[in-house]
Amino acid sequence: MCLIVFAYNTDPAYPLVIGANRDEFFDRPTAPLAWWEDHPHILAGRDLQAGGTWMGITDTGRFAAITNFRDPSRVKQKVPSRGALVGDFLCSDISAQTYLEHVRQSAKAYNGFNLIVKDNFGLFYYANYQDRIQRLCAGVYGLSNHLLNTEWPKVEKTKKGLTSLMEQDLVDEEAIFTLLADQQPAPDALLPDTGIGLAWERLLSSVFIRSKTYGTRSSSVILVKKNKQIRFSERTFDASGYCSRVSETVIT
């Protein structure tokens, strides 16, 4: 997951609204959104190379998502897969806060990550480069490949867009997908310098990324209602930006 924007407890009818884009190399094998055969209570896509996932939810409403922290100067080789941190939480029944306390003990063994986890008691965030567990209060949040709410152009743009959508009478799933489909790159003057060079900074600055080898593989919208009904929709894309698969699942 490389961009996630979410509104938490800002609408009495929808305690949690999430829009997210997963950006990855197109040659990395991936299974689309589905109930996992080995853990039938988990609804998520799956990284078939390492076995984990970037975002998922359970039939009881436990939620987790992860993004990488972009810093090529600190990348370590032969380390555990960060995607396993999402799957391990969804497989467990321990509290979200306790899970992050466990993760924190071995966090330095991983490359940089941002991890969001939710249970019935709250929504929590942890970044191993920051090393601080945060319980999130009501608000609209954005996360890409730096820390939570870092003022990168696409983070600011999607936060502003979701804030506006949450002010409408009804939460519009299609409008969130439109927000996630924005391919406009940020102006050079606003680009971060994360050590990957100007060409890559430009490419990665748009909300929806397109290139022949790397780009937005899927867009997802999760709507959690007050009555605990969950709607999880995913659209899968190829390197041309063509939507090759649409999945919609409702959990009641």
Whole-Å CA distances, 201 to 9, 23, 66, 122, 154? 33, 14, 20, 34, 12
Give the residue from 88, 78, 82 showing the smallest Cα distance to 58: 88
Structure confidence at residue 219 (pLDDT): 98
Confidence of residue 224 (pLDDT cuts 50, 70, 90): very high
Structure confidence by residue, pLDDT tens digits, 160-197: 999 999 999 899 999 999 999 999 999 999 999 999 99
Contact criterion met (CB below 8 Å) for 234 and 30 = no
Question: Mean pLDDT score of the chain, rounded to an integer?
Answer: 97
Task: State pTM to two decimals.
Answer: 0.97
Number of structural domains (the chain) is 1
In this predicted structure, the answer to whether residue 223 has a pLDDT above a threshold of 90 is yes
Nearest-10 crossing angle of helices 83-91, 96-105: 140
Q: Domain containing 79: what range?
A: 3-251
- Kind of pairing, strands 122-127 and 113-119? antiparallel
Task: Give the whole-angstrom CA distance, residue 148 versus residue 146.
Answer: 7
Task: Give the whole-angstrom CA distance, residue 205 versus residue 187.
Answer: 9
**Domain containing residue 127: CATH number:** 3.60.60.10
Q: What is the DSSP annotation of 40-54?
A: TTEEEEEETTTS--S
Confidence of residue 1 (pLDDT cuts 50, 70, 90): confident
Whole-Å CA distances, 179 to 94, 182, 199, 229? 34, 6, 24, 23
Structure confidence by residue, pLDDT tens digits, 24-78: 999 999 999 999 999 999 999 999 999 999 999 999 999 999 999 999 999 999 9
